[in-house]
Amino acid sequence: MVSQSLLPDRPVHSVGRPWLPWLLALASGILVGGCFPPWDLKGLSLVPWIALSPLCWALWMLPRRGTPKAWAFRAFLLGWVTGTVSFLISLFWITTVTVFGWVALSLFVGLYPALWALFSGVVLRRLALGDEGRGTPSGESAAEPVPWMGSFRNLSVALLAAAAWTGLEFLRGRLFTGFGWNPMGIGLLESIPLIQIAGVTGAAGLSFLCVLGASTATITARRLGLEIQRRRSKPHLDFLLVVLVVALLFGHGVRRITALPAETQKLKVAGVQGNIPVYDYWDPKCEGAIMEGYLRQSRLALTMDPDLVVWPEAATPRPLLLDEILFSQVKELASGTRADFLIGSIHYEAEPRGDFNSAILLRHHAASAQIYNKVHLVPFGEYVPFRHLFPPLMWIIGNRVPFDFDPGKGPALLELSVKPVKIGPLICFEDTLGDLTRGFADLGAQLLVTLTNDGWFEHSVATRQHLANARLRTVETGLPLLRVADTGVTCLVDRFGRLRDTLAGPDGSTFVEGVLQVAVDVPLHPEKTFYTRHGELFAEGCLGLTLLAIGSFVGLVRFRRQHPTSRA
């Protein structure tokens, strides 16, 4: 039997270049950060498929130095460099609020790619290279690892790498209140047929594809180099299988998009964007001008006879239902029309006590109201974690968050009176949360409506990244999404994730005051997607597979320590 070890005569990578792994980690950080707006350009569409390839090369292809513990720590740090740099790039818009928070958050969420690199550099390197990948305890460079000549083993490494990244993204969106912003799969957003797989896997499936592609590209490049060097080749079944899977998924997306359309009804909606500086809401002198702006724009919208008029998140400077002056102004506006009004406002309840960020649907000329209270609150934006346990936090935050909001009880639908349409309301960053959004779809929502205000981050790229994350919710649930912002992007996204209508000025800027008039095709009987019915099953499976691989690796290491002469 011929061994596949086939080590070359001399190391290809010189030990005199200790900076090379760090340069590769930095390159991956830049590429991953470039997967998201404003770098999501057509000419850079290949970036998500290769973004992690430099880091994979550093973890798998370069000789390992030092003891196993030293190498594990090194792999972790390489991943931390990649993760931190990528988030420093993609989250730069946070500097409009706080530079310290931008750096601190990037360092923290950068730990997730660090954990992935630890898994890849230790578990997957051993899986791929066998005993030759252990390195030398003396600290000298190991000989060149075993060539990547086995397609099955290579494919196993690539699949486990993709599963581990996907599982860690799943954890990032849940642990410590969760920060699921910008999963890797966002980079594939402009490939409309391909992203349709999100209706089954959620956004996790797209991230999986990106890492699978980067891992396979790295392995294939190394294998081609070895084949040229040794003038012998084998079928690249791993590469071919990955390409085939991507092609089949693309075909599935095309079939989904071109299928016979579901039965729909037209809903005429007017989304009012005030474009009001966020700090004006805190200035009592601006209250009159704020209300006058929304009332003026709404009167203009009503001339088009809409079914629904939508104001953005916290549009009223005081609680709508509790302030007689504000409510009388809106009621007078509603009395002369058949339209319902969906308005973002602060809302207080006495029994049980609660302070909420709410979406309020006024029906029948404002004679009745339905309320949805925001479920997922933004830490340090709508509440301060451990406010009373750590007083120094309040010194850092100042008066930006004077009190804490309370979370709502869960998803709740709002039903229009003018037409039989059930709305799934989302407030602010809730449209970036797949599991929460699918809760509305599972209840029977026919249309998703986001009320938001991205003015906290001024005219930064945060608004475009927010929209990019929100577009995947339509594919996951199979429902159209209307977004209405005070400052941000007011637009309509169809159920395939395609941007249909956007409110913008003559220069293309979305930071304008105005009204978006759209006719939305609302499905009469929306079919629940696999993702709507089963949620993050794919991501949970990836996490489970990763934990199983770690457990198997630990078991193997212990067995070999107890039986040092065994090759099992």
Annotated domain spans of the chain: 20-259+536-562, 264-375+410-526
Q: What CA–CA distance (Å, rounded) separates 555 from 45?
A: 41
Report which residue type is found at 317.
Answer: P
Residues 207-237 pLDDT 10s: 999 999 999 999 999 988 888 888 877 788 9
Q: What is the pLDDT of residue 227?
A: 84
Q: What is the pLDDT of residue 13?
A: 42
Q: What is the pLDDT of residue 399?
A: 54
Q: What CA–CA distance (Å, rounded) separates 326 from 334?
A: 13
Residues 76-125 pLDDT 10s: 999 999 999 999 999 999 999 889 989 999 999 999 999 999 999 999 99
Residues in a beta bridge with 264: 523
Tokens representing residue 516 in the block:
């978006």
Q: Check if the beta carbon of residue 416 is closer than 8 Å to that of residue 423.
A: yes
Q: What is the pLDDT of residue 337?
A: 93
Please give the average per-residue pLDDT across 421-429, as a whole number: 96
pLDDT higher than 70, residue 178 = yes
Look at strands 481-485 and 491-493 and give their pairing: antiparallel
Q: Check if the beta carbon of residue 429 is closer than 8 Å to that of residue 378.
A: yes
Lowest mean pLDDT among 159-173, 222-236, 313-327, 414-428: 222-236
pLDDT higher than 90, residue 177 = no
Residues 258-285 pLDDT 10s: 998 889 999 999 999 999 998 888 888 9
| Domain 264-375+410-526, CATH class in plain words | alpha beta
Please give the average per-residue pLDDT across 428-444, as a whole number: 95
Tokens representing residue 160 in the block:
């486990």
Among residues 270, 277, 344, 272, which one has the least CA distance to residue 313? 344
Q: What CA–CA distance (Å, rounded) separates 389 from 335?
A: 49
Residues in a beta bridge with 424: 448
Residues 334-388 pLDDT 10s: 998 999 999 999 998 877 888 899 999 999 999 999 999 999 887 766 655 655 5
Q: Check if the beta carbon of residue 267 is closer than 8 Å to that of residue 520.
A: yes
Residues in a beta bridge with 426: 450
Q: What is the pLDDT of residue 10?
A: 38
Record the pTM.
Answer: 0.90
With left for phi above 0 and alpha for psi between -120 and 50, is residue 458 left, alpha or beta? Answer: left
Q: What CA–CA distance (Å, rounded) separates 500 from 491?
A: 7
Q: What is the pLDDT of residue 452?
A: 96
* Residue, of 549 and 141, whose pLDDT is higher: 549
Q: What is the mean pLDDT of the chain?
A: 88
Q: What is the pLDDT of residue 286?
A: 92
Residues 53-64 pLDDT 10s: 999 999 999 988
With cut-offs at 50, 70 and 90, classify the pLDDT of residue 171.
Answer: very high
Q: What is the pLDDT of residue 402?
A: 52
With cut-offs at 50, 70 and 90, classify the pLDDT of residue 9.
Answer: very low
The fraction of the chain above a pLDDT of 70, given in percent, is 89
